[in-house]
Amino acid sequence: MENAGKNSISVVIAGGGSTYTPEIILMLLANLDRLPLRCIKLYDNDGERQGKLASAVKILIEERDPSIEFVATTDPKIAYTDVDFCLAHIRVGQLPMRELDEKIPLKYGVVGQETCGPGGLAYGLRSIPGVIENIDYMEKYSPNCWMLNYSNPAAIVAEACRRLRPHSRVINICDMPIGLEDSFARILGFKSRKQLDYRYFGLNHFGWYTSVKDPDGNELLPKLVEHELKYGNTMPGESMDDYTDHTWYDTALKVKDIVSLDPSMAPNSYLQYYLFPDDMVAHSDPQYTRANMVMDGREKRVFGECARIAEAGTAEGTSLRIGIHAEFIVDLATALAFNTHERMLLIVPNNGAIENFDPKAMVEIPCIVGKDGYEPLSIGTIPTFQKGLMYEQVCVEKLVVDAYEQHSYLKMLQAMSLSKTVPSANVAKKILDELIVANEGYWPELH
């Protein structure tokens, strides 16, 4: 790989029917100078859904570089043969199951969210076999391939990979820090997040920034926190009209409350679901959740635009845009392919990086990435407040993987009872029993 020449790299996007696929394609095509490609494949077990995107993707690629081979397939052998990178973003059960993940907990007055709370645990148990299946396909047909896995819920998926496929060439990542760092750059007056250096520790969707430095090495965290205490991650004078939907504005504003619990660090905004679950439930509509917003908004918009491109035979004037999470994927693939030693936040086994935390926990920390994989940076010790929150959450994630391995109802009940988002074991049992019915055919049979 280190001697890779022009047009030498082949990638497969697992979950090719995702509405994020066009964004990733556009990012790959915009970075051919950094990551030259000879082949792009789409792979999905839902050929009909993938087909809604494939014709448009083919046109996007042909208009940018017709020398790149394009394949869309439902056959794992075709998908995984002769590939260097698998970009995996599968959603087992698709959006109708996400809708149930969100609405069933809300029925009981509990956080209903894609990756947090009982819905996130349900999604995790549902996702494990799909991710493992794709790892096995990759190792069978392209054993030297790297899988860059950003399938949600990333924390549970990462723990399952650590335990069930410990020697596989899989790197678990998440785009959430990229969005936060874009906000930080904007707040601090920089054009790009890449102008700043960050220190961060935590779990996926569950962490804190301890340092933000400018190119001259000046510490800007106090300035950032001072802003967050007043405005959260919004800008002065902003309103929900300045955001694509009100939930993003609400989330950015809520950071004001999260950071007040420890003003020495800048928090991940997902902590709102764990620290203020009552507020989250109060501002949720049990009849119309985020899944419905995505189905009525993003799904229709992306599939509609792809249909327009296919019919017109050209992508000229397209409304499709590169997404923030696509940038991270290209950075990671480039670092692995060309040994750039880029510093990136990855989800990796702790192994002592956080000195006073479970060495087997999957933590999200800065790593140096090169052709041989990643090297985690040392974090040192962390404070009691953060350590306590993290340990509770990492135990929840481990119990879900226990439930998968052992087909254990008890382990899944323990996971839901331990979750900070669930008020009691009584409520946990009611939610779990309803989720078991909803996930028939997706979950292992629990007993």
Sign, CA torsion 212/176/393/425: positive
Interior CA angle at 366 toward 365 and 371, to 5°?
120
Catalytic residue among 44, 84, 101, 175: 175
Q: How would you list the strands of the sheet with 266-267, edge to edge?
A: 197-203, 206-213, 266-267
Strand, helix or coil for residue 41: strand
20, 270, 374, 404: the active-site residue: 270
Active site residue 270: yes
Distance from the Cα of residue 118 to its chain's centroid = 18
DSSP string, 425-439: HHHHHHHHHHHHHHT
- According to DSSP, the residues that pair with 73 across neighbouring strands are 43
DSSP code per residue over 347-379: EEE-TTSBTTS-TTSEEEEEEEEETTEEEEPP-
Which residues are paired to 244 by β-bridges?
A: none
Tokens 């999604």 sit on residue: 123
Q: Which of 438, 421, 436 is nearest to 118 (CA)?
A: 421
DSSP annotation of 202: E
Whether the ω angle into residue 96 lies within 30 degrees of 0, i.e. cis, is: no
Q: Which residues are catalytic?
A: 175, 270
